[in-house]
A and B are shown apart, each in its own frame.
Chain A
């Protein structure tokens, strides 16, 4: 037989072999992408990344839970006293210091992701705890009227989702606030 193994090794270095192997490799790599990407959220899932909510039916002091991106979200129409309590807390008393005005776009409306930052339970809507906010019944974390952690094991404040006021009484939760709107609110 004409071909020893060494001989085959030498010929394999030829351009055409490298080119074919590269092309086959590139084709294989490219065809892997659909198999990976199919695990990303599908179009119908992504279509629910924003949720519109009409604030007008809520009365002062009322809290409702809605679903956004498969997570519960609290929408709370705060009373004047609750707003004042939230604004008056000195930041140095807070475990996760954050001013109330940085957590709301309009003081009357508090919108929070209702997932306790300790281990993921949903805080109790009907038990406002020692600080007038929420008590998480799982491990006793207590949040204030701005949703900030005040007592218990949770390390962080309840998260504020991105949201955008479409009108004075309609919010689009999940949408980034338009810069102009934010300026108008705070300026």
Chain B
């Protein structure tokens, strides 16, 4: 988000004020390449999410990210709540019903007679199911790397939205002489430039967007933007409500301050102070 960048700017400004800057940042060849600075629909005090973009972003998450990454803080019902992708109630329930959730039977058993986990179709109240039952299973399936939960990923990285977008579009061949460890991939935006995640968005049209509704072409860049939007929303699902309330609160406080200032001047005009 813009917030983190503002913070970086502020730090840079402070550094300039004091006349100091950390030279290690500039000179280390292995230093992380700073995220590309993008313009997002949710930037600024009036910025909002683009519903269609969030819906497309969900599709990318579901078809690409969700095969390895959990998102355990988000529920299906969130998909139709105000300020989010705003799928219709019926669409959301259909999405939920398309997922199998582990469950218990009447006697509290989690497995049937043959030891198979009991499952039921998802409901609105269910959280997004995780692709692996635990961290060991996740590591075993991913070359011992643990795919982090994506629920708050854009808040858990500095300049998170720009970082996620930059990472997704930041894969390239390593520069000459760069020693890439086996099983890792080159990505300039990742610490040490070596990441265990293979390029997740590798070809255009990897995800097929619905042809109607004015959806753009599913280029790698577009899919990266869309899923970044979705992850940003998932990390801060009350952002729109927060900003809308904020505008009202600030207007009220400015009026209140003006009134109190007038009262204060009125009251003190006969007092020498």
Contact = CB atoms under 8 A, between A and B. Distances in A.
Direct contact of A and B (CB under 8 A): yes
Contact of A11 (B124, B260, B262, B267): B267
Nearest to B252: A27
A11 B267 CA distance: 8
Contacts of B36: none
Contacts of B110: none
Given A11-B267, A47-B77, A52 B123 contact: yes
B106 A64 contact: yes
Contacts of B252: 23, 27
Contact of B124 (A16, A17, A24, A47): A47
A2 interface: yes
Interface residues of B, number: 19
Interface residues of A, number: 20
A183 interface: no
A23 B263 CA distance: 12
B259 A23 contact: yes
Interface string B261-273: 0110011001100
22 contacts: A11-B266, A11-B267, A14-B266, A16-B259, A16-B262, A16-B263, A17-B266, A19-B259, A19-B263, A20-B259, A20-B260, A20-B262, A23-B252, A23-B255, A23-B259, A24-B256, A24-B260, A44-B75, A47-B77, A48-B125, A64-B106, A66-B106
Interface of B: 75, 77, 81, 106, 123-125, 252-253, 255-256, 259-260, 262-263, 266-267, 270-271
